[in-house]
Chain A
Amino acid sequence: MQNIQSPEYAIETKNLFIFYGSFAAVSEVNMKIEKQKITAIIGPSGCGKSTLLRAFNRMNDFVPSSYVTGEILLHGQNLYGKDIDPVEVRRKIGMVFQKPNPFPKSIYENITWGARINGFKGNMDELVEQSLRGAALWDEVKDKLRKSAYELSGGQQQRLCIARTIAIQPDIILMDEPASALDPISTLRIEELMQELKKNYTIIIVTHNMQQAARVSDYTAMMMLEKDGSRSGTVIEFSETKRIFTNPKDKRTEDYVTGRFG
């Protein structure tokens, strides 16, 4: 059942369309996302970056009237297949949100909650330490694990959210503008952390910040509204980040990354 698709890819979309009612918010996306690499999705506001990202862990399911055509393949299984349980999908594909959203529980429980509901049977203390170390937060919080997560700063909260995500050992971590609500120093720490994380995880990040995409990602997908005026977003160019920023094929990509857009 596993690894029917080519093993170097973590996840793959095939002719993916995402609809809200009759409106195709995202159309015709074909991407092969490499394992243990950081893939950035960039593009102007309202072009469907977050919608596409949320399709990967079926978060769009919570929007009534949304549906998908085409396929997203994880280990060769179509995530939108009839017999797929979205709860299991989300366990394998974690997500970090734009605004830090730790649970209103202690730092410790923030890590253990996800593990517990997913049937983790091992040593919780170890898991907490490992996950917090993995998110470069351990040294700052090791003495106040029982304190509320809301006593942490925004940047620390975001790293806690990353820690709780890696505690359930997903294959892929989706990040929806994870640093846009943070100050530059916290942003830098998150970016450094991402370089550490990609040793073990595949990361897909949506960002508004082109410098960020250029700094952190290995691959970049450029999204844009379709030319036909349908207000539907699509990936117009997807290749190595270096190439997108230095030698893009599409004129619109070039205009956007050089700041001449719109």
Chain B
Amino acid sequence: MKQENTIMENQNFRPLDLRKKIRPGESIIQSLLFVSGVLSIFITVAIVYELGKEALLFFNNPDVTFAKFFGTTRWQPGVGLFGIWPLVTSTLITSAIAIFVSLPLGLATALFLSEYASPKARSVLKPILEILAGIPTVVYGYFALLFMTPLLQKIFGEGVEVYNMASAGIVMGIMILPLISSMSEDALSAVPRALREGAYAMGATKFETSLQVVLPAALSGIGAALIIGISRAVGETMIVAVAAGAGPNFTFNPFQAAETMTGHIARISGGDLSYNTIDYTSLFAIALMLFLVTLILNLVSQTIINKFRQRYE
């Protein structure tokens, strides 16, 4: 029997040779993967370099000082006003409103889909959410301007301006809702069934199990969803450009118009702008600032998540 096996092996496989071999397919694939990895790093570095280079021109301008940039609250580079805050606060306010809308709603949706929904309800609900994700942002912008703003005016009265941060923020929240809910649902579904069974076997109700066992265990995935959501909100341009207002305005009242960093860049770069003017280089300074704000928010949320996450292996 054993003898036969050896003979068959010899017929069907290449002869045994234990020496090292060159496998060209392996090396080609490996170098292709390496190149694509390097490429994405290179692109990121190149963008940061370009931003930094032009922003440096801006900060090298004798009229611009860091004290003015961070210490004043009016932004109008054409007339020598370089306070970045009105653009930053409006970005933070619209993004905060968006997260305030999308995180609870998205989490509730995700919990419903992963813990409660029957397979049938799931198969209907998920595609609908995905449609929401497929709507172009310019449509969302007009939805904010023509639907959400009148609605807010009806509820909160005349104090709500035609262009305002609240309607842009709320609609931005609706836009990132599918992102947050679908990423959170993946995280919740990835929690092992054994944990749920353990909880049920202790006499836990479905609600106690999903809220106190499954949700904390999925926190790191939900955190990732939150971080991507924040980045989307901070970087979102079209909705705020259409609905939040066209002009920097240092205010904390969400019902007033105020231009965000992205909205400002979009509007200014759309006009006729000559190369190397202060207006031109200021855009790069804003972009760099946007980059920093996103980075800081990501780091902060990551830290918070790490503090509360519950690791299961």
B203–A91 CB distance below 8 A: yes
B123 interface residue, CB < 8 Å from A?
no
Q: Are B217 and A101 in contact (CB under 8 A)?
A: no
Candidates B195, B200, B203, B313; contact of A103 at CB < 8 Å: B195
Confirm or deny: B76 has a beta carbon within 8 angstroms of a beta carbon on chain A.
no
Q: Which residues of chain A have C-beta atoms less than 8 A from B204's C-beta?
A: 87, 114, 117
The contact string, 1 if C-beta is below 8 Å from chain B, for chain A 51-93, is 0000001010010000000000000000000000001101110
Point out the residue from A95, A105, A113, A150 that lies within 8 Å of B201, measured CB to CB.
Answer: A95
Chain B residues with a Cβ closer than 8 Å to the other chain, count? 21
Return the chain A residue nearest B194 by Cβ: A101
**Size bracket of the A interface:** 20 to 34
Contact B312 A161 (CB under 8 A): no
Q: Which residues of A contact B9 (CB under 8 A)?
A: none
Asked if B80 CB lies within 8 Å of chain A CBs, one says no
Q: Please report the C-alpha to C-alpha distance between residue A117 and residue B211 in the assembled complex, in whole angstroms.
A: 12
- Residues of chain B within 8 A of A105, CB atoms compared: 216, 310
Q: Which of B201, B202, B312 contacts A104 (CB 8 A)?
A: B312
Contact B197 A101 (CB under 8 A): yes
The answer to whether B198 and A97 have CB atoms under 8 Å apart is yes
What distance in Å separates the Cβ of B202 from its nearest Cβ neighbour in chain A?
4
Residues of chain B in range 166-219 having any CB-CB distance to chain A below 8 Å: 192, 194-195, 197-205, 208, 212-213, 216-217
Question: Which residues of A from 109 to 162 have beta carbons under 8 Å from B?
Answer: 113-114, 117-118, 148, 150, 161
Question: Nearest chain A CB to B285's CB is how many angstroms away?
Answer: 44
CB distance from B310 to the nearest CB of A (A): 4
Q: Tell me if B311 and A113 are in contact (CB < 8 A).
A: no
Q: Nearest chain-A residue to B202 (Cβ)?
A: A114
Q: Is the CB of B312 within 8 A of A150?
A: yes
Which A residues lie within 8 Å of B205 (CB)?
Answer: 87, 117
Known contacts A99-B194, A103-B213; A117/B200 CB under 8 A? no
**Which of B195, B197, B203, B216 has its CB near the most chain A CB atoms (within 10 A)?**
B203
Residue numbers in A under 8 Å from B200 (CB-CB): 59, 62, 90
Please, which residue of chain B has its CB at the minimum distance from the CB of A58?
Answer: B200
Contacts of A225 in B (CB 8 A): none
Task: Given the known inter-chain contacts A117-B208, A150-B312, A150-B313, please indicate yes or no for A101 contacting B202, CB distance below 8 A.
Answer: no
Q: Give me 11 A-to-B residue pairs in the complex whose CB atoms sit less than 8 angstroms apart, sorted by A's number.
A: A57-B201, A59-B200, A62-B197, A90-B203, A97-B194, A97-B197, A101-B192, A103-B213, A104-B217, A150-B312, A168-B203
Given contacts A90-B202, A104-B216, 9 further A-B contacts (CB under 8 A): A90-B201, A101-B194, A103-B195, A104-B195, A104-B311, A104-B312, A113-B213, A117-B212, A148-B310
Please report B residues at the A interface, Cβ cutoff 8 Å.
192, 194-195, 197-205, 208, 212-213, 216-217, 310-313
